[in-house]
């Protein structure tokens, strides 16, 4: 599975878009990019995943670069409840159940 | 739809004592996982079940850890005897098997403190 690199921490003002980057330069053609988040004292929560195309759901948007070496998770209007650790995970389609979490990015939404 | 239920939420024991954690997955989810999360780190997989079969237990320290999922529904993770280094959060997750998108549903975890 692809190694991913994320900043340790980021701040964002409430109401603004939060853009969380992830580098996955070793990702292979059949590996998806998954994003999970973990709010303090809770279990991780699935956000979104994608392969090549940009994806959007009710929680966030995922922008994957054309060369697939990096991606950005966008929370369009961050709220205080979005304060959490965000994990970017690269995983092949055959191993979709074997998620390997790194240390993630601590996003703090400021009032 | 009820989520993944874990108990107890918190457990404090002295070293060398046994401890057990229980997990009830989402109804209809055939795949069940136990993860370990140390402070400041991401979760690490301990064991994965497909129905009642443990299909990946390579990261489970088998000298003191054991797990079971006898009827392919709920599961128990046991540590005997507990050591100081076992203090962590133990997370249970479940997912569907057929047409799985990789979305795992996690419980709130069981926080273990070993004194």
Indicate yes or no: CB of B41 within 8 angstroms of CB of A45: no
Q: Check if A32 contacts B (Cβ < 8 Å).
A: yes
Interface mutation vs chain A, best among B33, B43, B97, most A CBs within 10 Å: B43
Q: Which of B15, B9, B1 is nearest to B91 (CA)?
A: B9
pLDDT tens for A82-92 read 999 999 988 76
Contact A37, A59 (CB under 8 A): no
Token pair of B34 as six digits? 């136990």
Indicate yes or no: CB of A99 within 8 angstroms of CB of B101: no
Give dist(CA A82, CA B105) in Å, integer.
Answer: 18
Contact B5, B74 (CB under 8 A): no
Alpha helices in B1-115 (DSSP H): none
Query: What separation, in Å, do the N-terminal and C-terminal C-alpha atoms of chain B show?
Result: 37
Q: Check if B9 contacts A (Cβ < 8 Å).
A: no
Per-residue pLDDT of chain B (115 residues; tens, 9 = 90+): 689 999 999 999 999 999 999 999 999 998 999 999 999 999 999 999 989 999 888 889 999 999 999 888 999 999 999 999 999 999 999 988 644 566 889 999 999 999 9
Per-residue pLDDT at B35:
95
């Amino acid at each position: 599975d692809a190694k991913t690199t994320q900043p340790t921490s980021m701040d964002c003002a409430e109401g603004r878009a939060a853009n969380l980057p992830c580098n996955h330069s070793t990702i292979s053609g059949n590996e998806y990019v998954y994003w999970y988040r973990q709010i303090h004292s809770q279990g991780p929560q699935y956000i979104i995943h994608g392969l090549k195309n940009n994806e959007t759901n009710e929680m966030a948007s995922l922008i994957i670069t054309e060369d697939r070496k990096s991606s950005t998770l966008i929370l369009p209007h961050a709220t205080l409840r979005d304060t959490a650790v965000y994990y970017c995970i690269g995983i092949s389609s055959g191993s979709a159940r074997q998620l390997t979490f790194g240390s993630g990015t601590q996003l703090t939404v400021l009032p | 739809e009820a989520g993944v239920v874990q108990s107890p939420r918190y457990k404090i024991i002295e070293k060398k004592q046994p401890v057990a954690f229980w997990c009830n997955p989402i109804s209809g989810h055939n795949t069940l996982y136990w993860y370990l999360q140390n402070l400041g780190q991401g979760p690490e997989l301990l064991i994965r079940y497909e129905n009642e079969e443990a299909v990946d237990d390579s990261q489970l320290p088998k000298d003191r850890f054991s797990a079971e999922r006898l009827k392919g529904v709920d599961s128990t993770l046991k540590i005997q005897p507990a050591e100081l280094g076992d203090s962590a959060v133990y997370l249970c997750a479940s997912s569907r098997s057929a047409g799985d998108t990789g979305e795992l549903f996690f419980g709130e975890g069981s926080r273990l403190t070993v004194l």
